Structure 1
Amino acid sequence: MAAICVFCGSSTVLEPRWLELAAAVGAELAGRGHTLVSGGGRVGMMGAVATAARAGGGHTVGVIPQSLVDLEVADTSADELVVTEGMAARKTVMIDRSDAFLVLPGGLGTLDELFEVWTLGILGLHDKPIVLLDADGFYTGLMGWLEGVARERFIGISAMSLLRVVSTVDGALDVIERVD
């Protein structure tokens, strides 16, 4: 099966529904036999997705910079924990180790990761699926903005088609499995 990189929030002050969503993703990844590649944190949605994946018998790979290990937020229960020198190296390892990308709700770090893998795909540097899980309309505003940017031709139609937007966990993994 595939190694699926999940980008998501690591905030510790989230509403329970977001942690439940992350746990549902982790459980479904494991249930379908996929490996989870994550940012290597044990907090927030990142911790919830990894914990649920392991609870379901899934293999987890965490990739985390030393600076976050030093803050004691590393997912030391990961089946494999890769420690990098910095955030840029972290993203490179996560991209290299993954067959697909699944973006859950998150903040600036999540958006940074989304835009990096999307840009690399647009440039033809990878052909891995990128799926945005728009649970509860979380990304509706972003998608509206992106559609406006595309109308102004700053983003091409072919670039927009590389980002697949779905609203359910099952739907997200179905899209990845069809492309993979």
Structure 2
Amino acid sequence: MNKLEKLCVFCGSSEGNDLAITAAAEKLGKIFVERNITLVYGAAKIGVMGVIAKSVLENKGKVIGIIPSFLKKKEVVHLGLTELITTDNMHQRKLKMQENSDGFIALPGGMGTLEELFEIITWLQLGLHSKPIGLLNVNGFYNDLIKMLETMVRKGFLSMDNYNLLLVDSNPQQLLDKMEKFKPTEQPKWLNEDRT
């Protein structure tokens, strides 16, 4: 069983137009506190990011925000966090998120959310970490993305082992249960091959 004491959440800096998404973020924040999980996230006070941080804090939980200095200057940073870590750039931010988390969950979001999700799952695929990654598929938000991943498998660009690295559920409690039971596959053989 994986001990999930700190989980990083990737999500939108906008709230979008589906109230089910902000409601899911609020619910996930409460569940984190119930399970004694610290939220690690991008430190913003706006969008879905702000909703989940507010939920955790209002329920007496802990929140670690990680933000690059250029975004801090834009005054989007949440000033009431348990801990705030400032990095020089976006790359350092993602590395700090990985170092400070026992796993990752993607809520709905835009390009930045997808970029963070795919980078962290690529790191898992390459054996750079062995932490569980969950996709909270709120109200079918990620259905088309899941279909795209299935197309990648069908067309031979994604193995089933790597497809299965992404844990998907629409229920946050069930998703966390899957993440606790997650076992990474062995590092791909081609990474160990001598290609000189």
The interval holding the TM-score normalised by the smaller chain is: over 0.9
Deviation at residue 133 of structure 1 after TM alignment: 0.7
Deviation at residue 12 of structure 1 after TM alignment: 4.7
> What are the equivalent positions in structure 2 for 1:160-175 lying under 5 Å apart?
160-175=163-178
Match of 2:97 among 94, 97, 101: 94
Deviation at residue 16 of structure 1 after TM alignment: 2.9
Distance in 1 of aligned mates of 2:16 and 2:45: 14
| Counterpart position of 1:159 | 162
Aligned residues: 180
| Counterpart position of 2:85 | 82
| Counterpart position of 1:114 | 117
Extract structure 1 runs of 4+ deviating beyond 6 A: none
Residue 8 of structure 2 aligns with an amino acid whose one-letter code is C
Deviations, residues 70-97 of structure 1 (Å, cap 9, x unaligned): 1100011110000111111111100111
Deviation at residue 14 of structure 1 after TM alignment: 3.8
Residue 69 of structure 2 aligns with an amino acid whose one-letter code is Q
Deviation at residue 179 of structure 1 after TM alignment: 3.4
Deviation at residue 108 of structure 1 after TM alignment: 0.4
Distance in 2 of aligned mates of 1:30 and 1:45: 17
| Helix, strand or coil at the partner of 2:164 | helix
Answer yes or no: is 1:129 the counterpart of 2:132. yes
> What are the equivalent positions in structure 2 for 1:16-95 lying under 5 Å apart?
16-95=19-98
Residue 69 of structure 1 aligns with an amino acid whose one-letter code is K
Higher helix proportion, which one? 1
Deviation at residue 56 of structure 1 after TM alignment: 1.5
Answer yes or no: is 1:146 the counterpart of 2:161. no
Percentage identity across paired residues of the two chains:
39
CA RMSD of aligned residues (A): 1.3
Deviation at residue 170 of structure 1 after TM alignment: 1.3
Deviation at residue 177 of structure 1 after TM alignment: 2.7
Query: Does the C-alpha gap of structure 1 residues 13 and 159 become closer, same or farther in structure 2, counting only changes over 3 Å?
Result: closer
Give the TM-score normalised by the residue count of structure 2: 0.88
Contact 1:65 1:83 in 2 (8 A): yes
Distance in 1 of aligned mates of 2:16 and 2:25: 14
Residue 92 of structure 1 aligns with an amino acid whose one-letter code is L
Give the TM-score normalised by the residue count of structure 1: 0.95
| Helix, strand or coil at the partner of 1:114 | helix
Deviation at residue 152 of structure 1 after TM alignment: 1.3
Distance in 1 of aligned mates of 2:17 and 2:90: 23
Deviation at residue 127 of structure 1 after TM alignment: 0.6
Larger of the two Rg values belongs to structure: 2
Residue 163 of structure 2 aligns with an amino acid whose one-letter code is M
Deviation at residue 13 of structure 1 after TM alignment: 4.9
Contact 1:121 1:127 in 2 (8 A): yes
Query: Does the C-alpha gap of structure 1 residues 75 and 14 become closer, same or farther in structure 2, counting only changes over 3 Å?
Result: farther
Contact 2:20 2:139 in 1 (8 A): no
Distance in 1 of aligned mates of 2:176 and 2:46: 23
